[in-house]
Structure 1
Amino acid sequence: MKNCLAIITARGGSKRIPRKNIKNFLGKPIINYSIQSAIDCSCFDEVIVSTDDQEIAEVAIAAGAKIPFIRSAESSNDFSTTAEVISEVLRDYKKIGVEFEYVCCIYPTAPFITADKLKNAYEMLISSGAKSVVPVVRFGFPIQRSFKIEDNSLRMNWPEHMSTRSQDLPASYHDSGQFYFLRTESFLKDNKLFTDFTVPYEMPESEVQDIDNEEDWKLAEIKYTFLLSKQKNR
């Protein structure tokens, strides 16, 4: 049994940002950031890209990743889940007699991932005995005081907290949408990224950005450029 596998998930059918996974991000295809971070991390026996797209495969190979299998049509549609993609890759490896103790799923549009973050998450998974490690970021405002719109009227989701001070409410977090580190045996049994024993890896808001549209893309470039300038000035 091998120790650890990195799977970068990059199908070809992005719609809101065409060719999103290989679009130029500050000088190179955005997927290259994920590939390079995984390669630079000392955790992985193999770094692969799961894709159904020939152009993405060529870019990935040029960046140093492997393409041992082509993703099936069943796991490449708009409704395919990340868990389904991971399961398919693990099944394909098992068919050729290869199994891994740990697996890390990495998203291709996550330039804020670094080798150190992946290594820290890996060590956290091992030392905690958890089934998975998920990077999270804190909401900037208490969600207990959030609103919804009903019948064109603004209403509180939790009106009982109308007068509760922000500092008296517990912090809430959301998935940073960058990677998931999993204990393979537990994942194959539960088929879940979030389990009854998932530990958080907290990230600062400055290093997290969903990229779903062109405005998100520009914000990610601004944040990334800001981080580079901070690092240079240290």
Structure 2
Amino acid sequence: MTDSGDILMVIPARGGSKRLPRKNLLPLAGKPLICWTLEAALDAKLNARLMVTTDDEEIMDIARQYESRGVIAYKRPDELATDTASTIDVLLDAVQAVQAVGHTPETLVLLQPTSPLRKACDILSALRIYRENGCTDTVVTVCEVDHPTAWIGRVCEGSRLEGIDLSGKRSQDYPKEYRLNGAVCVVSVDHLLSHAKVFTDSLIASVMPRERSLDVDVGVDLVICEGLIGANQA
């Protein structure tokens, strides 16, 4: 794949997590969760800067283990180390940090460390689609939903289930629907800086398979990831 422009890949990795404490450092198939994202990014072999931005010294130590491969271990400012710090503020800070040392990235690739099953090919596919569409709209990775959203409803007073399509149609009779999976997001740095937003008004989809789209949020997600990794290595 031929690179065009200057790419900054950012992995935002806080040390804290309310639902799954120390999530980004938890072991998955023999290595910390964040390492799966770091290695997928490096396997893409892009002419890019790869930054881990974190508030945590242990995560900094892990990132430093990859410095010989070009990874930037960046300790974010204290004001971005809180539960209320937004992703956009973290990304703006990351861009400004590389600009301060003389680099001018044109494209930002956001890689959440909680998507450990994403592969290098998924990153490359999102970048290819971004370029093919003129590098103007944000590209996001998506996967097909497990079941039609017409089967999703609300449990109301008296345990009454409302909002469900009761037509009796089979799942294959509904049009295919897709959800964001959070694995890869590609946006122009110009849009990020000028609008302080990751998403453009129109989004472009890069489709990933469901089996690589798991987002680690609770403990059972790690167990499922471990099983999928084991199955792929068997």
* Fold similarity call, TM over 0.5: yes
**Partner residue of 1:133?**
139
Match of 1:223 among 216, 225, 228: 228
User: How far is the alpha carbon of 1:198 from its aligned partner?
Assistant: 1.6
User: How far is the alpha carbon of 1:110 from its aligned partner?
Assistant: 1.9
For the 8 Å contact 2:126–2:184, the answer to whether it is kept is no
* Helix, strand or coil at the partner of 1:55: helix
Tell me the amino acid that sits aligned with residue 232 of structure 2: L
Name the Cα RMSD after superposition: 2.0
Q: Distance in 2 between matches of 1:2 and 1:163?
A: 51
User: How far is the alpha carbon of 1:164 from its aligned partner?
Assistant: 6.1
* Helix, strand or coil at the partner of 1:94: helix
Q: Distance in 2 between matches of 1:138 and 1:75?
A: 33
Q: Distance in 2 between matches of 1:46 and 1:194?
A: 21
Tell me the amino acid that sits aligned with residue 221 of structure 2: D
Residue range with higher mean Cα deviation, 106-115 or 187-196: 187-196
**Partner residue of 1:232?**
none
For the 8 Å contact 1:104–1:180, the answer to whether it is kept is yes
Are positions 1:148 and 2:154 aligned together?
A: yes
* Cα pair distance change 1:17/1:145, threshold 3 Å: closer
Residue range with higher mean Cα deviation, 187-196 or 133-142: 187-196
Residue range with higher mean Cα deviation, 162-171 or 211-220: 162-171
Q: Distance in 2 between matches of 1:224 and 1:83?
A: 31
Aligned ranges for residues 83-122 of structure 1 at < 5 Å?
Answer: 83-122=88-127
TM-score (normalizing by structure 1): 0.88
Aligned ranges for residues 1-234 of structure 1 at < 5 Å?
Answer: 3-64=6-67, 65-67=71-73, 69-129=74-134, 130-157=136-163, 161-163=165-167, 165=169, 166-229=171-234
User: How far is the alpha carbon of 1:61 from its aligned partner?
Assistant: 1.2
For the 8 Å contact 2:187–2:199, the answer to whether it is kept is no
Q: Distance in 2 between matches of 1:223 and 1:201?
A: 22
TM-score (normalizing by structure 2): 0.88
Can you list the C-alpha shifts for 1:81-133, whole angstroms capped at 9, x where unaligned?
A: 22221111112222333210111111112221212211121111111124211
Structure 2: runs of 5 or more not aligned: none
Q: Distance in 2 between matches of 1:156 and 1:170?
A: 21
> Between the two proteins, what is the percent identity of the paired residues?
27
Q: Distance in 2 between matches of 1:13 and 1:200?
A: 30
Q: Distance in 2 between matches of 1:128 and 1:43?
A: 19
Q: Distance in 2 between matches of 1:142 and 1:203?
A: 18
Q: Distance in 1 between matches of 2:155 and 2:93?
A: 40
For the 8 Å contact 1:4–1:102, the answer to whether it is kept is yes
Structure 1: runs of 5 or more not aligned: 230-234
